[in-house]
Each structure stands twice: as structure tokens, then as C-alpha cells.
């Protein structure tokens, strides 16, 4: 069969024709990765490798550390704050170009897990606490990417909402909460955009690992939803041999294979798994290969990765970042800034003079460029041309760990460029010939995804990193080390830090928690003098475990290497300097928040407060300057004990490489802020629903809030949050009126439901053109059969409204808008004859403007393929 004829087939036709041509060994080969980012090729039948890449905020490519630069996009929570599907379409054009420049077939995103706790280290990747908003935005993202022939991988299925003990914790969730909250964004995306792949979670759900969970993978995903895409494990998250295949996990990632391969073949020989089950998984892999164009290119050679930094991409990212910024407070209309002659502006805060583009973990990448708030503010003030002055004071050091070494103080002794040389030996004592060597730009010397096959066979090896350190100042400077296996840091040949054993600690600054807690030492150094800094390490000793074909297996660890930090001594009183500057200034812009160290995959946060003495810094500055504006960079809610002391609060999230430019666009009025919160901000941690049971006990966490997740909890308990879900103000003001529905009764038949259009008039009552996000919440007016949330988001419309203009916002309501899961009947149910209110509102706690509609009442229970309308 020729290549052209195969390309003209459908994915199902190709898989059906190809499967009989494969041997059992080749089928099994398809079901596990070849290396860190690629699947296995089968040249005999024309199948080439597929390449994957993270993911949620850009396309990093095939190297986790120090790879080719990439476009750094706004984080998921920031994208959700735009409430703008059309902006997601524009972002997709960037992601498509980035995938093509790095030969990516499967983009590992979007992330749609519901952020259950404000302490979740990975919250910034996800969209929203609301499953409807998350699912709709994810569906738009998936559709845009896949139309270009690139697969998306929606993740993490399901309930992967805490990093603490994420490889072991068992999420205990009622069936109703599982359906209405935690799987709903996946269901919306599956039904509306059919993602070609899906990634399972690390954790257990109701007793079984997500990667081998019969209820999630077979009962719900495959049989109920009818999904035929590829389910893959999260990296190193395949916890079984036979059960994962039995229940429909198609692909073990990454490679080289750990669970499958020879083990799966042997399990088949022993009668523990049928070839029919293997065929099911192989068939779905063949479909994906065909969909991404890797089914008929036996001689395909992967080109080198490229950095593609285009002006049109910069413009899209800047606009998208600005529309994701949420204005939370603007007392006395201090914003937008009115720059006057001789005005003195103080820019204060640990994030003001540095680029904070993203949280840490899988989202991390090397951006094409970085922008810094202080620089962007200075440029905007200069452009105003009125002779205003800008001064800066950091106020404090905001690091969690000793920072990575600055490129300006280290030199690779081989190349002479900034960075390290990293050498490897195929033994444990750094002896004999070097078998591999590479040059690294940063002092994260992790042995992860660039090693040759000779060093990934499971045999232990040793490595050595070397750089020349030239301090800029004289003083007692800090060094730090975190190491996966045994590691030593040497300065001019003398050991200054020694970590003698293997580690796996949640307190490690290394990715995936593979390393030790950070060890620190302070040493006196002289400015301008050159010091030889060396990291000597040995790969960790594998931990033995009892193998089983059918049971859960210990999670294997393969990452090695270390992280070296360096910080020159700070002798100034930074807080006093900042307060003194604020007292002498007319206006203060404080840029505070967290970063990739505080908010990251693999470790949750310890509190809702900003790092270290940030709250004290804000309070002290506000006491001496009433015109204080706080810009917060986090991906999760924070406590604001200083809220009443400051004039304005801007929630700036993590905005990628254009974050500083987008921020100044909003501060200086070039963009009218229109973002609205996709998550609730509690006043204190104890207000949030996860405080009932987080992080759990004995690796078991009970989702006691049930269906009352997010804003539903605050409504249920009548608690006033700090800022409600959907909240956000602008430089414009709007009035809502005349909410109405196209029909007063929602009709049903065996084929499904009709729909109702709800509309509301929105008037701009200011003299500033602005965008308003109108939210439509549905609320039961008659008593429901089962307890339900007070109101739930079921639609929205983002509208541009000019001064004095009235426009009409609308949304479509159908059975999904009013159905609930009945865990006794095991189905979606609609109460026939029930009366509902639909509320057009500014946010979840807004009284809004209301209309009513009723559900048609059948003479007897009316069943469709997806739900039942109850007569009584």
C-alpha cells in the first residue's frame, strides 16, 4: 500500500489496515516511549517517531534545561481571566508555529484540573475553579491546535490538584462531585473538540491509580463518552503493567520503557493480558500516528529545533496578557496613572527589577526574551515627556532558595562563555575516559533528558560540572547545593558542601522533588578574583522493590544531577531604603508576588501569604505614602492584610515574556483592564473548602466539600470572600437591564433538548470605551430533588461597549445548564417542571438582573442517550 493511499485514509481505516501487519512485539513497542519525549518508530511498516513537548504556557521543545528559546505565554489562570475564546484562538497560532519550529506532534496541554486549594503549587497552569469555564476554554484551545494537525493532550485526568504527596495520595471523591466538578471540564472538551490525547494523573482516585483506574478510563472515558483518543501516563506515572493496559492506558511515558516492553509480552505469555486488549491500545496509537502525519514517513529525520520570535506573536502575547490582568481595587481612580511634570514615582518590590514570567515545573522554559516592570515603567514615563522621575528600591530579597548563579559571574572553562561544562563517566569514581560532555547555560545541572542511551541503561555513573566564578563584590557570599544522589560542591578544590546520600524530598528546589533539601554555606570571597567551582556527583542507587505483573509498582526515579545557588552578601537595609524612598515620592508602584521557586510543580505553598516580609513591606510603605499601588504576580489567591491601606490592587498573574509591557499598558491607560477572576480569593485560608481536609492524612484526602467547590462553597455557607469569582473592575462603568429569555419553557424529547437564548442589555455609563464580561448564572427557584449549588455559571459573553452605548449580551442554555448527577440512578437527571432563574451578573456574588424559565414536564420519565427528564 503506497504512502499516498494511506494518507487518504481516515485514522480508523489506517489503523484497521495496519494492525494485522504488526507483530505482537511491534504492537507492544508502540505502547511505550522511546526516550524522554518521543515514541517508538517502526520503520518496517513506515511508522516514525512522534515527539511530545510541554505544554501549558509555551512549547519548550525536547530539552528541559537550557534548550532552544521559546515563546513564553501567559499562564492558564491568566488566559482564563480574559474569558475570551477569540484570544485563545490567537494564542493557538503562536503555539502552532512554536510546535512546527520544534517538530512537535503532541502538545502536552491544556491543564484543566480544578484548583481545589489556594496552596496548590500548580494552580497557575489550570484555568479556573469552575468546570464549565475550564471546559469551554479548553475545548477552544484544543480545536485551534488540532486543526493544524498537531495533537493536544488534555491533562491530568483526574483530580490532580495538589502537589503534596501527589505520587501516592488517594483522592476520595463522591461520584456526584467527580461528575459535576472534577471530570466535567474533560467531558466538555471531549464532546466539543475531541482531544486526540489525554494524560492521566499521578494520584489515586477512590483507591486506584489514575493510570490504571477502571472507572475513570474504561467506564467513563471510553464507554460512556465514547472517546477513541490516546490516553498516556504522566511522566513516570505508569504504576502497573497489566491493569493499565486492561483499562485503556495506551502509552507509557517516558522511555526507555519501565513497565511494559518485555514485561507486557511475558504477561501475555502467562495469560494475564489478552492480545485483544493490547490491540485496542495499539489501534488508538495507530490512529494518533495517522492524525499527526507520522504513519507513512519511514525515513523521516527530525530537524534541529529553532527559535522563532515574530513581531506579530509579540503583539498577540502583549494584548492577551493585558486582557488577563484583573483590577481588584482602584480607590479615588488613582489608575490609570496621570503623569505630571516633576512627579516622583517610586517603583518598589522584589519583583519590580526582575522578570517573573511563570511558575515552575513542567511550564518552565527559556523565553525568547524577558521584560522587567521597572524598565517598562521607566520607558512609559519617558514617553509621557513631562520630566517625571522614576526611582527604584527592591525593599527585600524575595528568593525562596539561594538564586541560581547569574550569567555574569560564571564562565565555562572550555568554551569561555557564560555557563558550565558537564562531563560524564560510565563509572562511579570519575575515572577513565569521559563518555559524554555537554555545555550548560545555567547552574541547574540536572541529568534528565539529554543523556545518551549508554547512560540510561540503569547502570550508575558519575558526573562533574565545572565553572569559573568571579564575584562582583567582596563579602561573605552564600553558596547552596541540592543533589539527587551523592554530591559535593568544591571551591578551588576544597569541599564546601557535601550531600552523601540519595534523596527524594518535597523540600528540594530540584524539579520533580528528586533532590535533597537545599544545603547552604557562607564563604568570604574577593571581588574580581577567579575561583574554580566544581560539582562532583554520582547517580543515585535505584531503590529495590517487589515486581508484580498485576499489582501497583513503586515509582521509579531516573533524574540525577544537582542545583548550585550563589548569592553575594547584601549589607544594606533594603526595607528602610524602600520606606525612605516611598516617603519622598508622589506615587508608589509596588511589584510583589511569587515566582517559579515559591509556586511550582512538585511542592505546594505553605500559606496564602506573600513570601517572607512582603506583607510588612507593603504595610510600611503604605503608611508613609497614601498613593500606593500594589501589583501582585501570583497564580493563586493571596491574603491581603494591607488591602485597606493601599489605593489600588492589580492582579497580574504570570504573564510570560510580555508581562512588563502588558502591565504598563494597563497602569498607564493604554489598555482598559477587563479581566475577571476565574478563581475566588478567600480572606483567610480557613475560608476555602479544601481546609476541611488538605493535604490529607496517611496519603488519603477526602473531598468533603463535594459539589460545593469554588464559589459554590462561599454561596452555600454565605461567607463573604475577599474577592468573588468573576470579579474585576475597569476604567469604565456598566449598567445591566432587561434580562429576558427567548422562551419561558425548555422543551425536551428523546433526541435531547431544545435551547433557550438569554439576553441582557449592557450600557456603558462612563466616558471610556471598555469591555465587559457578562456572566450568566443559573439558579433553581423551586426546591430540587437533591441539594444543589445556589447558582452555577452556565454562560458568558464578552462585549466591547462604547461610552453611552447599549449592547446586548447573550448565552445559550440547554439541558447541560440544569442537569445534575444522581449517584443513586447513576445518570444525569433533569427535574421535569422545575423553575429556574437565570441571572445576568458582574460576578458570582452580584445580585444581577434576573429572568425565569421552566422545564417542560413529561407525562412519564423521558430518557435520551445522555440524560433523563424525571416526571416526578
- Choose among 412, 421, 524, 410: nearest CA to 469: 410
Average pLDDT value for residue range 431-452: 90
The 8-class DSSP code of residue 748 comes to E
Burial class (CB in 10 A: 0-12, 13-18, 19+), 301: exposed
590, β-bridge pairs: 348, 630
pLDDT value, residue 448: 75
Average pLDDT value for residue range 388-392: 97
Is the pLDDT at 2 greater than 60, yes or no?
A: no
pLDDT value, residue 507: 80
pLDDT value, residue 542: 77
The third-level CATH classification (topology) of the domain covering 734-870 is Immunoglobulin-like (2.60.40)
Please tell me the distance from the alpha carbon of residue 200 to that of residue 217, in angstroms, as a whole number: 9
Is the pLDDT at 430 greater than 80, yes or no?
A: yes
pTM, entire model: 0.96
CATH code: domain 3-291 is 3.20.20.300
Is the pLDDT at 407 greater than 80, yes or no?
A: yes
Distant-in-sequence, close-in-space partners of 653: CB < 8 Å, separation ≥ 6: 74, 75, 77, 78, 81, 124, 324, 325, 326, 633, 634, 635
Distances from the Cα of 764 to the Cαs of 333, 760, 802, 811, in angstroms?
17, 13, 6, 20
Is the pLDDT at 3 greater than 70, yes or no?
A: no
- The string of DSSP letters for 145-196 reads HHTTT-EEEEEEETT----TTTTT-EEE--HHHIIIIISHHHHHHHHHH--S
For residue 5, name the pLDDT band (cuts at 50, 70, 90): low
- pLDDT tens figures, 488-526: 999 999 999 999 988 777 788 887 657 899 999 999 999
Domains 326-397+572-672 and 734-870 share a fold: no
pLDDT value, residue 556: 66
- Choose among 100, 49, 455, 426: nearest CA to 253: 49
Active site residue 823: no
Domain 410-567 matching CATH 2.60.120.260: the answer reads yes
Residues 336 and 667 sit within 8 Å (Cβ to Cβ): yes
Which comes out higher in pLDDT, residue 407 or 4?
A: 407
- pLDDT tens figures, 19-35: 999 999 999 999 999 99
Distances from the Cα of 791 to the Cαs of 195, 711, 846, in angstroms?
29, 9, 11
- Choose among 189, 116, 748, 615: nearest CA to 126: 116
- pLDDT tens figures, 541-578: 877 778 999 999 977 666 789 999 999 999 999 999 99
Catalytic pick among 170, 234, 375, 449:
234
Please tell me the distance from the alpha carbon of residue 398 to that of residue 350, in angstroms, as a whole number: 5
pLDDT value, residue 750: 78
For residue 441, name the pLDDT band (cuts at 50, 70, 90): very high
- pLDDT tens figures, 325-355: 999 999 999 999 999 999 999 999 999 999 9
For residue 376, name the pLDDT band (cuts at 50, 70, 90): very high
**At 732, is the secondary structure helix, strand, or coil?**
coil
Which comes out higher in pLDDT, residue 97 or 509?
A: 97
Please tell me the distance from the alpha carbon of residue 351 to that of residue 355, in angstroms, as a whole number: 7
Average pLDDT value for residue range 134-151: 97
Please tell me the distance from the alpha carbon of residue 792 to that of residue 841, in angstroms, as a whole number: 12
- The string of DSSP letters for 180-194 reads IIISHHHHHHHHHH-
| Ramachandran angles phi, psi of 61, nearest 5° | 100, -160
Is the pLDDT at 298 greater than 90, yes or no?
A: no
pLDDT value, residue 1: 47
Average pLDDT value for residue range 455-484: 94
What's the whole-number average pLDDT of the chain? 95
Is the pLDDT at 148 greater than 60, yes or no?
A: yes
| Ramachandran angles phi, psi of 715, nearest 5° | -65, -45
Please tell me the distance from the alpha carbon of residue 22 to that of residue 807, in angstroms, as a whole number: 60
Distances from the Cα of 216 to the Cαs of 162, 219, 248, 288, in angstroms?
19, 6, 10, 21
pLDDT cut 90: percent of the chain above it: 88
The residues spanned by each domain of the chain are 3-291, 326-397+572-672, 410-567, 734-870
Residues 514-527 as b/e (b if ≥16 CB within 10 A, e otherwise) read: bbbebbeeeeebee
Residues 703 and 116 sit within 8 Å (Cβ to Cβ): yes
pLDDT value, residue 234: 96
The third-level CATH classification (topology) of the domain covering 326-397+572-672 is Rossmann fold (3.40.50)
Least confident residue range of 135-149, 221-235, 439-453, 846-860: 439-453
Amino acid at each position: 500500500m503506497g504512502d499516498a493511499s494511506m494518507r487518504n485514509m481516515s485514522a480508523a481505516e489506517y489503523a484497521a489496515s495496519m494492525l494485522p501487519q504488526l507483530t505482537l512485539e511491534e504492537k507492544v513497542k508502540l505502547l511505550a516511549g522511546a526516550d524522554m519525549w518521543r515514541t517508538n518508530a517502526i520503520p518496517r511498516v513506515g511508522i516514525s517517531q512522534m515527539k511530545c513537548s510541554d505544554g501549558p504556557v509555551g512549547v519548550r521543545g525536547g530539552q528541559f534545561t537550557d534548550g532552544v528559546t521559546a515563546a513564553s505565554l501567559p499562564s492558564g489562570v491568566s488566559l482564563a481571566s480574559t474569558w475570551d475564546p477569540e484570544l485563545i484562538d490567537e494564542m493557538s497560532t503562536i503555539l502552532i508555529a512554536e510546535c512546527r519550529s520544534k517538530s512537535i506532534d503532541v502538545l502536552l496541554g491544556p491543564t484543566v484540573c480544578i484548583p481545589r486549594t489556594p496552596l496548590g503549587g500548580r494552580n497557575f497552569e489550570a484555568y479556573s475553579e469552575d468546570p464549565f469555564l475550564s471546559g469551554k476554554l479548553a475545548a477552544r484551545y484544543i480545536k485551534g491546535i488540532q486543526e493544524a494537525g498537531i495533537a493536544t493532550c488534555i491533562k491530568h485526568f483526574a483530580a490532580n490538584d495538589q502537589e503534596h504527596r501527589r505520587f501516592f495520595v488517594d483522592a476520595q471523591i463522591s461520584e456526584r462531585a467527580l461528575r459535576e466538578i472534577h471530570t466535567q471540564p474533560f467531558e466538555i472538551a471531549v464532546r466539543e473538540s475531541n482531544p486526540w490525547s489525554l494524560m492521566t494523573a499521578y494520584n489515586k482516585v477512590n483507591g486506584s491509580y489514575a493510570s490504571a483506574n477502571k472507572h475513570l478510563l474504561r467506564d467513563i472515558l471510553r464507554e460512556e463518552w465514547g472517546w477513541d483518543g490516546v490516553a498516556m501516563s504522566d511522566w513516570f506515572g505508569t504504576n502497573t503493567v497489566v491493569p493499565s493496559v486492561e483499562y485503556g492506558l495506551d502509552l507509557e511515558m517516558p522511555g526507555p520503557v519501565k513497565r511494559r516492553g518485555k514485561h507486557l509480552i511475558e504477561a501475555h505469555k502467562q495469560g494475564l493480558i489478552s492480545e485483544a486488549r493490547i490491540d485496542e491500545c495499539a489501534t488508538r496509537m495507530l490512529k494518533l500516528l495517522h492524525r499527526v502525519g507520522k504513519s507513512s514517513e519511514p525515513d523521516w529525520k527530525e530537524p534541529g529545533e529553532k527559535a522563532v520570535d515574530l513581531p506579530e506573536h509579540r503583539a498577540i502575547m502583549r494584548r492577551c496578557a493585558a486582557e488577563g490582568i484583573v483590577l481588584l481595587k482602584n480607590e479615588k481612580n488613582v489608575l490609570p496613572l496621570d503623569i505630571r511634570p516633576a512627579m516622583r514615582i517610586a517603583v518598589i518590590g522584589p519583583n519590580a527589577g526582575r522578570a517573573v514570567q511563570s511558575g515552575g515545573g513542567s511550564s518552565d522554559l527559556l523565553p525568547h526574551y524577558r521584560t522587567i516592570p521597572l524598565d517598562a515603567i521607566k520607558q512609559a514615563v519617558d514617553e509621557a515627556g513631562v520630566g517625571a522621575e522614576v526611582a527604584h528600591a527592591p525593599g527585600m530579597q524575595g528568593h525562596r532558595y539561594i538564586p541560581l548563579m547569574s550569567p555574569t559571574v560564571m564562565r565555562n572553562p572550555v568554551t569561555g562563555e557564560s555557563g558550565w561544562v558537564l562531563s560524564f563517566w560510565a563509572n562511579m569514581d570519575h575515572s577513565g575516559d569521559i563518555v559524554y560532555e555537554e555545555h550548560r547555560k545555567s547552574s541547574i545541572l540536572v541529568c534528565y533528558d539529554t543523556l545518551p542511551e549508554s547512560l540510561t541503561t540503569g547502570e550508575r555513573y558519575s558526573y562533574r560540572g565545572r565553572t569559573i566564578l568571579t564575584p562582583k563584590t567582596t563579602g561573605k557570599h552564600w553558596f547552596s547545593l541540592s543533589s539527587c544522589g551523592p554530591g559535593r560542591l568544591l571551591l578551588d578544590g576544597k569541599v564546601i558542601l557535601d550531600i552523601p546520600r540519595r534523596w527524594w524530598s518535597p523540600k528540594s528546589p530540584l524539579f520533580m522533588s528528586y533532590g535533597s533539601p537545599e544545603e547552604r554555606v557562607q564563604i568570604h570571597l574577593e571581588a574580581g578574583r577567579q575561583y574554580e567551582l566544581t560539582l562532583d556527583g554520582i547517580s543515585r542507587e535505584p531503590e529495590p522493590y517487589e515486581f508484580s505483573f498485576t499489582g501497583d509498582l513503586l515509582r521509579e526515579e531516573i533524574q540525577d544531577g544537582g542545583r548550585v545557588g550563589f548569592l553575594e552578601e547584601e549589607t544594606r537595609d533594603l526595607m528602610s531604603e524602600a520606606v525612605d524612598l516611598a516617603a519622598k515620592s508622589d506615587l508608589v508602584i509596588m511589584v510583589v508576588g511569587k515566582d517559579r521557586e515559591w509556586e511550582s510543580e512538585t511542592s505546594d505553598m505553605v500559606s496564602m501569604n506573600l513570601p517572607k516580609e512582603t506583607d510588612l513591606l507593603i504595610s510600611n510603605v503604605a503608611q508613609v505614602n497614601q498613593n500606593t499601588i500594589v501589583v501582585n504576580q501570583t497564580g493563586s489567591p493571596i491574603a491581603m492584610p494591607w488591602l485597606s491601606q493601599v489605593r489600588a490592587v492589580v492582579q497580574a498573574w504570570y504573564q510570560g515574556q510580555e508581562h512588563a509591557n502588558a502591565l504598563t499598558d494597563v497602569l498607564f491607560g493604554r489598555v482598559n483592564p477587563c479581566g475577571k477572576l476565574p478563581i475566588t480569593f478567600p480572606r483567610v485560608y480557613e475560608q476555602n473548602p479544601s481546609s476541611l481536609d488538605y493535604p490529607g492524612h496517611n496519603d488519603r484526602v477526602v473531598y468533603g466539600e463535594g459539589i460545593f467547590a469554588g464559589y459554590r462553597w462561599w454561596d452555600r455557607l454565605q461567607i463573604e470572600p475577599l474577592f468573588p469569582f468573576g470579579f474585576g473592575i475597569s476604567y469604565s462603568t456598566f449598567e445591566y437591564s432587561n434580562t429576558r429569555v427567548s422562551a419561558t419553557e425548555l422543551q425536551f424529547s428523546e433526541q435531547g433538548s431544545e435551547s433557550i437564548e438569554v439576553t441582557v442589555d449592557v450600557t456603558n455609563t462612563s466616558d471610556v470605551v471598555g469591555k465587559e464580561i457578562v456572566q450568566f448564572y443559573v439558579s433553581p427557584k423551586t426546591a430540587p430533588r437533591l441539594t444543589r449549588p445556589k447558582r452555577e455559571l452556565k454562560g458568558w459573553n464578552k462585549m466591547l461597549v462604547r461610552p453611552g452605548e447599549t449592547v446586548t449580551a447573550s448565552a445559550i442554555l440547554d439541558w447541560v445548564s440544569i442537569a445534575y448527577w444522581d449517584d443513586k440512578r447513576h445518570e444525569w437527571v433533569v427535574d421535569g417542571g422545575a423553575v429556574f432563574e437565570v441571572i445576568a451578573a458582574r460576578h458570582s456574588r452580584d445580585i444581577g438582573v434576573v429572568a425565569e424559565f421552566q422545564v417542560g414536564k413529561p407525562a412519564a420519565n423521558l430518557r435520551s442517550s445522555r440524560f433523563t427528564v424525571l416526571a416526578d
